[in-house]
Amino acid sequence: MKPIFCLLSILTGSFFAGGCATHAPIRTAPKVDLNRFMGDWYVIGGVLTPFEKNAYNPVESYALNEDGTIATTFRFNKGSFDGPVKKYHPKGFIRDSSSNAIWGMQFIWPIKADYRIVYLDPNYSQTIVGRNRRDFAWIMARSPNISEASYQDMVEILVAEGYPREKIRKAPQSTTDPSANEASD
């Protein structure tokens, strides 16, 4: 099996495996202006997936397609700050058009994983994306570094939503864009 298919199989299994604990639906941002939300988001931390554990400088980028879907690129340096650049291209689907805060994220057809914008600051400079299962979450910002106080505030939001504090960790970010180390794709 090709390495990418192995990785995607593991990721898909991770998205759908989980505990039996039941929670009330995770709260979401009341309204997301999709045009303002598009662009680059640096992954600052969260409850990360298994394949993100070796990701340095992780960045999630969104672009709104004409058909209303969201072209997504997840890129990072593998293994170190100057490691090779890896990219994945899942596709986002808006599931709740009244808020635009609930998406399906498709890594492998036809499965669309739960993806919810839990928090979004008024300036669209910091966000938290989570899942109803409370298995994965991402604290993201428009810049690679945020204040420790802002980070801790977002950790508290995740904990209040039912995420275990001990599973939340920072993602290694430098001030260098991972695409700067990219020789070719």
Lowest mean pLDDT among 80-84, 111-115, 134-138: 111-115
Q: Where residue 11 falls among pLDDT bands split at 50, 70, 90?
A: very low
Give this prediction's pTM: 0.83
Distance set, CA 96 to CA 34, 60, 92, 101, 104 (Å): 12, 21, 12, 7, 10
Question: How does pLDDT run across 24-73, given as a tens digit for each residue?
Answer: 889 999 999 999 999 999 999 999 998 788 999 999 999 999 999 999 99
Q: Give dist(CA 112, CA 120) in Å, integer.
A: 22
At residue 10, the pLDDT reads 38
Lowest mean pLDDT among 30-34, 79-83, 108-112: 108-112
At residue 18, the pLDDT reads 40
Give bridge partners of residue 93 from the DSSP assignment. 104
Quote the DSSP letter at residue 144.
S
Q: Where residue 9 falls among pLDDT bands split at 50, 70, 90?
A: very low
Domains and CATH numbers, the chain: 26-181 (2.40.128.20)
Position 7 pLDDT exceeds 70 = no
At residue 2, the pLDDT reads 43
Assigned token pair, 71: 């072209």
Position 21 pLDDT exceeds 60 = no
At residue 176, the pLDDT reads 53
